[in-house]
Amino acid sequence: MSDQLLVRHADRYRDLLALIFGGLLPLGLAPFDYWGIALLAPAALFWATWGASRLRLMWRFYLFNLGMFTTGVSWIYVSINTYGGASQILAAFLVALFVSSYSMVCLPQAWIYGTWFRSNLVAGGLGFIGLWVLQEWFRSWFLTGFPWLFLGYSGLETPLAGFAPVAGVFGVSLLICAISVFLVLGCMTRRIVFFLVPLVIAITGFICGMTDSTNSKKRISVSLVQGNIDQHTKWNPENRSAILSAYLDASRSEWGRDLIVWPEAAVTIFRGAASKVLTDIDQKIGSMGSSLLAGIPDRDEVGGFQNTVIALGDGSGQYIKRRLVPFGEYMPLESVLRGLIQFFDLPMSRNVPGPRQQEPILADDLKISVSICYEVVYPEIVREDVREKDLLVTVSNDTWFGSSIGPWQHLQMARMRALENGRAMVRATNNGITALIDHQGNLQATLRQFEPGVLRGDVEIRTGLTLFSRFGSLPVLFLSLLLALFGRFLPLNWLVIHGDA
């Protein structure tokens, strides 16, 4: 009887361990950047699930994800309550519903792990690593994708960042998870060889970080205008002229700079209705030798809304946002949800996406790769558009996040896109965090949140492609699949280590 009681207590402790370390994992990401915690989180889950029954293992995977999403995407509450008009109770309920439901995305990974890897500790470790990355990839596209809280982002401030231009964020996730698992294997088996693997990975990452596959071309001057427009009144028709005047007033001293960027939907007048004022701006800044990129709403041929960035002055072309935000820019199950609460009836939430292939925006002789808000969190969207482009530009309106951790997470993901593709990035936002990012993902300068201002600086234009830009995430995903399959079919007479649960 006492043995059964001990087992039950041990099970509960391991359940709690999975929940706690899942909740702690976001501390390894921005704005906290305690990367050591992110390194420990997979180790805790691997140890807590080894030797458990399949159902118990799946439960612990779920608890880990429940903790991770509860703390990591808490900013959703701000969007729903502050800007969506939902009461505190309703907002909390909707967040809890989303988190508890979306945490189930780990269950296929957990079922495969619990079914395939039951006896060989090394095989279990390899399978855990491969399935971790495949689960992150699954989250990047399942139900349109929610590519948030990837383990690889915690490596941005470590030597492992050197792997990002080679293998992207999924590659960094794989290596962090590998270090974590091999440290556990070393502790459980007391074999020195397992401790050598993390050391080799770290040294290799440091060496990779010292190499550069892109070349400097020239430098240009840029100015990023942060308007700090109140989201509650932004789309009031009475404020359209005042908002446009605020951006023009802030930009007049910047005419003559090579590139000026206004944030997402900085102009709140539809493009067709603003044609005269846009022509005036185009002629004015063109005579000064500047290019202006400005976010503005537009309509397609049948009247659908489009989230657009246009180029004026020495610039030309437009970009229409391709990957829309569910509930923010379009409404899934619109006939059911529209009108239930204010959050399901936000302004500009009837958008239509732009085509996948679009002509590049030009700023003088530079080809610009533009991503609007949410698009920058998708590694493949940015990568597919970076070929033959000189500079990454992302515009956003992170007002929806308020003073939560959301804007910092968003900025961190933008930094990873710059590092992956070896291109400088300029990031213009409504109220923060406006930033200049170099081709190695380092922050050159930022503006304070919730203050209007202009961020001035020079950015380096580079040529050439990183390995990630050439091949994308496919090699890492293939390697992850191989790890899982190798672990599955690893002969039990090869390095048989059962370990203790």
Q: What is the pLDDT of residues 75-92, one digit of tens each?
A: 999 988 887 778 999 999
pLDDT value at residue 203: 95
Q: Which of 18-27, 48-57, 116-125: highest mean pLDDT?
A: 18-27
pLDDT value at residue 492: 53
Q: Three-class SS of residue 339?
A: coil
Could you identify the residue written with the tokens 């964020």? 169
Q: Which residues 6+ apart lie within 8 Å of 249 measured at CB?
A: none
**Mean local confidence (pLDDT), 401-418:** 97
Options 106, 177, 208, 373, the catalytic residue: 373
Closest CA to 281 of 241, 240, 311, 320: 311
Distances (CA, A) of 98 to 66, 77, 94, 108: 10, 11, 6, 18
Has 264 been annotated as catalytic?
yes
pLDDT value at residue 457: 98
Q: What is the mean pLDDT of the chain?
A: 91
Q: Kindly indicate the confidence band of residue 337, based on its pLDDT and cuts at 50, 70 and 90.
A: low
Q: Kindly indicate the confidence band of residue 303, based on its pLDDT and cuts at 50, 70 and 90.
A: confident
Distance, in Å, from the CA atom of 36 to the CA atom of 40, rounded to the nearest integer, reads: 6
Q: Which residues 6+ apart lie within 8 Å of 396 measured at CB?
A: 263, 264, 372, 373, 376, 410, 427, 428, 429, 430
Q: Kindly indicate the confidence band of residue 300, based on its pLDDT and cuts at 50, 70 and 90.
A: confident
- Token pair of 253 as six digits: 């001293």
pTM for this prediction: 0.93
pLDDT, tens only, 432-487: 899 999 999 999 999 999 999 999 999 999 999 999 999 999 999 999 999 999 87
Closest CA to 113 of 88, 98, 96, 130: 130
Write out the H or E segment, with its range, that includes residue 276. helix 275-287
Give the lowest-confidence range in 11-15, 70-74, 317-321. Answer: 11-15
- Token pair of 365 as six digits: 């002789």
Has 321 been annotated as catalytic?
yes
Query: Which domains are delineated in the chain?
Result: 2-211+473-489 (no CATH), 215-299+306-322+357-465 (3.60.110.10)
Options 136, 208, 321, 420, the catalytic residue: 321
Write out the H or E segment, with its range, that includes residue 371. strand 366-372
Q: Is the pLDDT assigned to residue 100 strictly greater than 50?
A: yes
> Strand 259-261 and strand 291-299: pairing?
parallel
pLDDT value at residue 348: 57
pLDDT value at residue 1: 47
Degrees, nearest 5: CA angle 88-94-95 = 90
Residue type at position 44:
A
pLDDT value at residue 499: 47
Q: What percentage of the chain carries pLDDT values higher than 70?
A: 91
pLDDT value at residue 200: 96
Options 208, 234, 254, 264, the catalytic residue: 264
The residue count for the chain: 501
Distance, in Å, from the CA atom of 3 to the CA atom of 163, rounded to the nearest integer, reads: 47
Distance, in Å, from the CA atom of 217 to the CA atom of 220, rounded to the nearest integer, reads: 10
> Strand 259-261 and strand 215-226: pairing?
parallel
pLDDT, tens only, 188-227: 999 999 999 999 999 999 999 998 999 999 999 999 999 9
Q: Is 303 exposed, middle or buried (0-12, 13-18, 19+ CB in 10 A)?
A: exposed
Distance, in Å, from the CA atom of 96 to the CA atom of 88, rounded to the nearest integer, reads: 12
Q: Is the pLDDT assigned to residue 257 strictly greater than 90?
A: yes
DSSP conformation class of 375: G
For the chain, the C-alpha Rg in angstroms (whole number) is 24
pLDDT, tens only, 108-150: 999 999 998 877 888 899 999 999 999 999 999 998 899 999 9
CB 160 within 8 A of CB 441: no
CB 417 within 8 A of CB 379: yes
Has 380 been annotated as catalytic?
no
pLDDT value at residue 500: 46
The 10 Å Cβ neighbour count of residue 14 is 24
- Token pair of 160 as six digits: 């492992």
Which runs of E-coded beta strand occur in 397-468? 425-429, 435-437, 443-446, 453-463
Write out the H or E segment, with its range, that includes residue 469. helix 467-471
pLDDT value at residue 92: 95
Distance, in Å, from the CA atom of 335 to the CA atom of 333, rounded to the nearest integer, reads: 6
CB 336 within 8 A of CB 329: no
- Token pair of 255 as six digits: 């005419």
